[in-house]
Chain A
């Protein structure tokens, strides 16, 4: 039997977003795979050329609706480098806090999507329940649950409310307890969960680097990369945290990716509390940036899904001449056929769920 192609998408429960994974199966074994993208192309890079620097943040918020702040922050960082603007220290701390809260919320959304992929719908409801805690914190900070429009060129939009530290502490304490009591028995201790995720979707560290896989997916291969450590931005240099790298056997499978992301949520909780403690109590959180700029700015940050890169070019006008976005998941998806080949049809969801696809940022 030569096998046949199965369309997994664009309308399919496996795809979190609008894209198509064509899978060629021989019986139940995958012999070939081809991702097809472009269903959600909105032309963010092109629209940015006709909007003022400030107004582009609205667009970058919508690059990935589950981690808006991290994308807007990457854009602001690139524009600040072009303009030569220095962000006040308090503003930098506020950015770090919002980035890490957003990272936890994004990872919880990933977990909520990964559970049903494996037939575990309970995890969806639980993760969304815990995500509410962090959406509430983000709402207190920014006034919005989604598409927060929070980072500004030269700082952040507004200060945190009173007693934000106390509320953060209470929520994080509750969250860590839930992770220990609810999620670990459900996922880490489950034999069936291990059966479904261990040893599937293997990609070697060398292959992953060749194909441009970054972020938690590359750390799961055992490579210690984290832009927050390698090329520190904001105040990450002053904070103590450990990039979550998979050290066990079977590096690069779905289980290691799961563990890396899961532990990153705990690590982010620590960063939030540390940043709140070290933050200067008084001071500016924003400087006024120039209206027009000329030159080139380039920033790379550790997004929830990998290495986000923004390149902004100005020609002396009040709007960018050119914006280029590098989406981490776009490159990871290119390596997806490598992970899929030789696995079973049911593993498609176990693999593609674990790399955390977000179509908004892929199609831009």
Chain B
């Protein structure tokens, strides 16, 4: 048992929005005092803003904004930084080292006595994003410009949609759905359509081949992904992330014997499903063994070849957002979500005090899984399109069907309740 840092994101956002609205109201009333003729309409406007219905709608919007800032501005940048640092160490080099003292501007350029390019490099990705923002958004003359413009927004939007249902703890979430996992997987599988549109509409041979590869791959890894989740439902009986994590937040009991292990879905008949899920989610994230749509060796940059400026930045950067979402999904489904080990809580007059809040345990899992995927994809080559179809259709799908049978049998004969 541990407690979330944010008990309820909506309640926090409601208080925040109420405070902002209160400040706005005071300003409006002050204006009304200064300009008496519009005093009454201003009071009416202030009252309408502070009414519960408007406040609720506004706090929903603030909540979405908070989640986007949390996911994109903080975790996406951190994940990119982790990736660039980790694979640099694998390749025997330092990696990014730009610091704030590298800026050639007044307050930062004074420290000439020390080497400036010896920072942690966290701001390198911000600098890259700023550079991409300044670049021109080129549209090829022969491209279908409407679809070409829509595709990056489609990919970015569907990726953000995942975070509408992905909880970070028992309190930090936008919406808690009964079929949350299903919603996340559905939102995940919308992006390949955007990739196909982007590849096709650019009217370029490289992008076309990349887009069609994405469409061909879709079936090979989406079906096993859904099938192993079905196998999981046999054990859990629910697709609600909160229920899934609550079920895993206890000690593992095998045949009546309590073990020191936590009751993660990983331990037991779901191990087969876990392995299949790990393989398929790499394709979902478009990371190196399965990043065929943008195979940079033979297809220049694949379906992103014609994208430029921040359009490219969006689709390129949001790959890491998909990586965070995929890692979060794995940890909720198989690795106990945000549950900490039992010794993280001590009791003060029967009130449980967590040593670390739930969000920290969840992010620990996400970043450890992220490092695992980084090391994986920087140490094996890219597979070929026919090989990934072989892996998907001839290995993953039969084995995920087997996982369903195993899970059903385990449920029937009562192994691990």
A346 and B380 in contact (CB under 8 A), knowing A13-B300, A118-B297? no
Cβ B205 vs Cβ A119 within 8 A: no
Which A residues, 77 to 127, have Cβ-Cβ distances below 8 Å to chain B? 116-122, 125-126
Which A residues, 122 to 155, have Cβ-Cβ distances below 8 Å to chain B? 122, 125-126, 129
Residues of B within 8 A of A125 (CB): 91-93
B289 at the interface (CB under 8 A from A): yes
B60 at the interface (CB under 8 A from A): no
Cβ A193 vs Cβ B91 within 8 A: no
A157 to nearest B CB, angstroms? 34
**Which of B92, B209, B379 is in CB contact (< 8 Å) with A28?**
B209
Give the docked Cα–Cα distance between A160 and B381 (Å): 41
Chain A, residues 165-200, CB within 8 Å of chain B (1/0): the string is 000000000000000000000100010110110000
Cβ A129 vs Cβ B295 within 8 A: no
A26 to nearest B CB, angstroms? 12
Residues of B within 8 A of A186 (CB): 379
Give the docked Cα–Cα distance between A195 and B93 (Å): 29
Give the docked Cα–Cα distance between A118 and B291 (Å): 12
Cβ B380 vs Cβ A120 within 8 A: yes
| Chain A residue at smallest Cβ distance from B213 | A28
Give the docked Cα–Cα distance between A25 and B384 (Å): 15
Cβ B300 vs Cβ A345 within 8 A: no
A216 to nearest B CB, angstroms? 21
Give the docked Cα–Cα distance between A195 and B205 (Å): 26
Chain A, residues 230-273, CB within 8 Å of chain B (1/0): the string is 00000000000000000000000000000000000000000000
A117 and B297 in contact (CB under 8 A), knowing A126-B92, A192-B289, A196-B384? yes
Give the docked Cα–Cα distance between A13 and B288 (Å): 16
A192 and B383 in contact (CB under 8 A), knowing A125-B92, A345-B209? yes
Cβ A345 vs Cβ B378 within 8 A: no
Cβ B385 vs Cβ A344 within 8 A: yes
Give the docked Cα–Cα distance between A118 and B379 (Å): 11
Cβ B381 vs Cβ A349 within 8 A: no
Residues of A within 8 A of B384 (CB): 195-196, 344, 346-347
**Which of B291, B299, B381 is in CB contact (< 8 Å) with A120?**
B381
B residues lining the A interface (CB < 8 Å) = 87, 90-93, 205-206, 209, 213, 288-289, 291-292, 295-300, 378-387
Question: 11 A-B residue contacts at CB 8 Å?
Answer: A8-B298, A12-B300, A13-B297, A118-B297, A119-B289, A119-B296, A120-B382, A121-B91, A190-B381, A192-B380, A196-B382
